[in-house]
Chains A and B, each alone.
Chain A
Amino acid sequence: EPEVTQTPSHQVTQMGQEVILRCVPISNHLYFYWYRQILGQKVEFLVSFYNNEISEKSEIFDDQFSVERPDGSNFTLKIRSTKLEDSAMYFCASSGGATNEKLFFGSGTQLSVL
């Protein structure tokens, strides 16, 4: 069964550093997303991406965040100048094909900002 893959599974960084989280969505999907989940809290939408541009973003997705699809397979989330409160599990998801409304999630990257 096709799946969304994310790397790394864990990322530890110092406050103020930049991190790039990587995702390979399901190959025939056209819509890509980033969600985050702070420990003990709900899953929160960050951004959706379609046709090489951001289609929607939440108020969480401020200027420190950016997304990119640098080639035909990868989808990245960059966080510039990380803050302590950026510590969370970041999930990449994709949708498309016959079931465009259903999200398929990767296993997540646990980001710890020290």
Chain B
Amino acid sequence: RKEVEQDPGPFNVPEGATVAFNCTYSNSASQSFFWYRQDCRKEPKLLMSVYSSGNEDGRFTAQLNRASQYISLLIRDSKLSDSATYLCVVTPGANAGKSTFGDGTTLTVKP
């Protein structure tokens, strides 16, 4: 089983659609969780941290379910500029340390 497993994608959605990405992780001792965004051949950029209480940043909502070892990202009212690969990232502790990246889920938003 992969340490971090994401929806394989790709997701092709029209502008304005709501899209959800899922991620599961295998190490129950993992402590920190993130969604990063990566544009083609660019560096990953932090999109948002993920907390058990859930967190929202504008059109983006992230949720963590520790019991199920499951992380989600919801994008509402998707824009053309949301087209990218979304990376689920899990770290073992309070420090970034040996962060484990998922394979990524590619989103294409079409006009």
A residues contacting B by CB (< 8 A) are 31, 33, 35, 41-45, 48, 55-56, 58, 89, 91, 93, 95, 100-108, 110
A58–B99 CA distance with the chains assembled, in angstroms: 11
User: How close is B97's CB to chain A, nearest CB, in angstroms?
Assistant: 6
Beta-carbon contact of A102 and B43 below 8 Å:
no
Is there contact, CB below 8 Å, between A102 and B101? no
| B94 sits at the interface (CB 8 A) | yes
Which chain A residue shows the least CB distance to B102? Answer: A42
- Are A55 and B96 in contact (CB-based, < 8 A)? no
Pick the contact of A102: B46, B100, B104 (CB < 8 A). B46
- How far does the alpha carbon of A103 sit from the alpha carbon of B34 in the complex, in Å? 10
Q: Which residues of B contact A41 (CB under 8 A)?
A: 103
* Residues in B whose Cβ lies below 8 Å from that of A35: 101
Which residue in chain A gives the minimum CB-CB distance to B92?
A56
- For A93, list chain B residues within 8 Å (CB): 96
Residues of A within 8 A of B97 (CB): 48, 55-56
Q: Please give me the residue from chain A that is nearest to B31 by CB atom.
A: A101
Which residues of B pack against A, CB within 8 Å?
Answer: 32, 34, 36, 38, 41-46, 49, 87, 89, 91, 93-104
User: B46–A89 contact, CB under 8 A?
Assistant: no
Q: How far does the alpha carbon of A43 sit from the alpha carbon of B91 in the complex, in Å?
A: 13
Contact of A44 among B32, B38, B101 (CB under 8 A): B101
Query: Given that A42-B104, A107-B42 are contacting pairs, would A102 and B98 also be in contact in the complex, using a CB cutoff of 8 Å?
Result: no
In the complex formed, the residue of A with least CB distance to B91 is: A101
Once A42-B103, A42-B104, A43-B87 are accepted as A-B contacts, the answer to whether A105 and B98 lie under 8 Å apart by CB is no
